[in-house]
């Protein structure tokens, strides 16, 4: 059984924007001037769209659109949105045709936009290479259409029936170990481990739903995502979508990507030291305070310990989003489901005979989800934050440069949940993750053709690589701290 997530007219063709309007023509210079005058313009499929009226109502969050302003964001928009957006919605925002005058892709390098400031860049080229970004973009778009012709954007629901069976198995352990027979410390630990495994596995499908990669029906996918993420997992899917959509657009950009903004606990680049960076996601400076100086220099040693407490931070961020964030899209539904999570989880813990066992279950079930946090951070923590050409680097090149794949046998895919194919997922976010393994050879060929590094390693090797990168950064920051003290 499968669902067709592409155009009903011809599933092999990416739907491009068209219009019968009599339109003016804008050059990149005119776009630059209009953006300076607070027109939120973006180029898609050769047309200029004005998004001022869309910003506050964008289902994927306002910030994700801000990072596209003043740019040709054709690849980003098609990668992140279902076809119906282009077939039914986007056309009404078209205000002009775009006249390309050269091969540059980005237009706003000298515009002081609040959400599109260029990332601090080291002036070097990787290995002396100068990439042909227009050629990379053309081949990426050709691969996009090939995957559609091959039917790889079809979602096979059988895969999710298998996953549901896996959830039910863990759910039986969650409740069975505590509710059947007399509770004990051993049964408490077994139930807690099953709880962590249930949350770990459910996140993968919630992730797919957040990308509309299951039914391609935004409302249905959002509803199912809230049930999985908020009710079963206790974490806000709305918060995750807002953060994750930005992460996909500005991957590993220190000022913009909240997935690498983890001060005072982690700094994946020395650029975070000094407090000069302003987070466009949190809308505040990224302060490198005295506490950060003590923790960051030990980040490689504290990595796994901090990961064990990562889920507790997500609880706080989830409630902040649904209660305080004006960008929250489903605050009532999420508040109800987040509350019901603590009802069923509290009811479960109430069957333990002592507070010590309750605390033991609570800690183990939450701490062991550190596996998921490790899997996520391995994909980007050790990868470059500096682009060789931040103005012209195209979407495909940026995703390949900033993402790491984890090699594993096919029978172990369930453990990584598709996150091991991070390069492929970042190139094609709406591609059903059960098809990502099939796409890998095509992406490797694309990298070889254009001389781009395709980064991958086994799980153990990826851990060693990430820890080594954290240690290198910690050592550089330690040297900066020492030098600063000498100057004082």
- Domains of the chain, start order: 8-108 (3.10.120.10), 124-487 (no CATH)
Within its chain, how far is the Cα of 482 from the centroid?
35
Tell which residue, 258, 247, 213, has the closest CA to residue 399: 247
Q: Which of 98-112, 208-222, 274-288 has the lowest mean pLDDT?
A: 98-112
pLDDT at residue 487, as a whole number: 72
pLDDT at residue 447, as a whole number: 96
- Which residues, 6+ apart, have CB-to-CB distance to 265 below 8 Å? 292, 295, 296, 299, 302, 306
Q: Which of 13-22, 132-141, 287-296, 367-376 has the lowest mean pLDDT?
A: 13-22
User: Mean pLDDT over residues 15-25, rounded?
Assistant: 86
Tell which residue, 119, 174, 89, has the closest CA to residue 349: 174
- Where residue 106 falls among pLDDT bands split at 50, 70, 90? low
Confidence check: pLDDT of 250 > 70 = yes
Contact between residue 385 and residue 253 where contact means Cβ atoms under 8 Å apart: yes
pLDDT at residue 8, as a whole number: 45
User: Mean pLDDT over residues 50-58, rounded?
Assistant: 88
Mean pLDDT of the chain: 89
In angstroms, rounded to a whole number, what is the distance separating the alpha carbons of residues 60 and 241? 7
3-class state of residue 243 by DSSP: helix
pTM comes to 0.90
Within its chain, how far is the Cα of 450 from the centroid?
25
In angstroms, rounded to a whole number, what is the distance separating the alpha carbons of residues 246 and 58? 13
pLDDT tens string 410-466: 999 999 998 899 999 999 999 999 999 999 999 999 999 999 999 999 999 999 999
Phi, psi of 452 (to 5 degrees): -90, 145
Confidence check: pLDDT of 5 > 60 = no
pLDDT at residue 123, as a whole number: 36
Tell which residue, 205, 216, 226, has the closest CA to residue 330: 226
pLDDT at residue 164, as a whole number: 94
In angstroms, rounded to a whole number, what is the distance separating the alpha carbons of residues 414 and 411? 7
């Amino acid at each position: 059984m499968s669902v067709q997530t592409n155009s009903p007219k011809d599933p092999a063709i990416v739907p491009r924007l068209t219009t019968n309007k009599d339109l003016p023509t804008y050059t990149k210079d005119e776009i630059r001037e209009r953006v300076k005058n607070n027109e939120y313009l973006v180029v898609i499929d050769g047309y200029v769209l004005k998004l001022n009226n869309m910003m506050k109502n964008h289902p994927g969050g306002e910030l994700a659109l801000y990072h596209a302003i003043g740019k040709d964001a054709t690849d980003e928009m098609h990668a992140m949105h279902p076809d119906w957006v282009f077939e039914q919605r986007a056309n009404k925002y078209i205000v002009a045709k775009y006249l390309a005058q050269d091969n540059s892709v980005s237009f706003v390098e000298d515009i002081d936009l609040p959400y599109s400031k260029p990332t601090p860049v080291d002036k070097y080229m990787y290995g002396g290479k100068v990439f042909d970004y227009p050629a990379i973009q053309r081949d990426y778009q050709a691969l996009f259409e090939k995957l559609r012709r091959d039917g790889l954007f079809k979602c096979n629901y059988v895969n999710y029936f298998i996953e549901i069976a896996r959830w039910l198995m863990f759910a039986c352990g969650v409740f069975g170990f505590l509710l059947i027979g007399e509770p004990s410390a051993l049964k408490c630990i077994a139930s807690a481990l099953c709880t962590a495994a249930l949350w770990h596995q459910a996140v993968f499908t919630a992730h797919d739903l957040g990308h509309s990669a299951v039914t391609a029906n935004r409302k249905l996918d959002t509803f199912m995502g809230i049930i999985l993420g908020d009710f079963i997992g206790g974490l806000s899917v709305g918060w995750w979508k807002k953060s994750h959509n930005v992460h996909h657009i500005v991957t590993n950009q220190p000022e913009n990507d909240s997935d690498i903004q983890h001060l005072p606990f982690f700094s994946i680049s020395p650029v975070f030291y000094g407090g000069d960076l302003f987070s466009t996601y949190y809308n505040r400076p990224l302060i490198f305070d005295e506490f950060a100086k003590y923790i960051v220099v030990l980040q490689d040693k504290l990595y796994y310990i901090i990961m064990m407490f990562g889920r507790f931070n997500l609880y706080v961020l989830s409630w902040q989003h649904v209660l305080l964030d004006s960008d929250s899209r489903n605050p009532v539904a999420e508040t109800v489901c987040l509350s019901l999570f603590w009802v069923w989880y509290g009811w479960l813990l109430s069957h333990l005979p002592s507070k010590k066992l309750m605390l033991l279950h609570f800690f183990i079930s939450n701490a062991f989800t550190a596996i998921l946090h490790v899997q996520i951070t391995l994909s980007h923590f050790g990868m470059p934050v500096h682009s060789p050409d931040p103005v012209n680097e195209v979407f495909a090149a940026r995703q390949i440069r900033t993402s790491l794949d984890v090699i594993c046998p096919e029978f172990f895919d369930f453990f990584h949940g598709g996150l091991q194919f991070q390069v492929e997922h970042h190139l094609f976010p709406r591609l059903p993750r059960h098809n990502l393994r099939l796409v890998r050879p095509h992406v490797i060929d694309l990298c070889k053709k254009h001389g781009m590094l395709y980064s991958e390693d086994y799980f153990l090797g990826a851990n060693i690589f990430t820890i080594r990168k954290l240690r290198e950064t910690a050592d550089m920051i330690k040297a900066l701290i020492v030098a600063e003290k000498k100057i004082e």
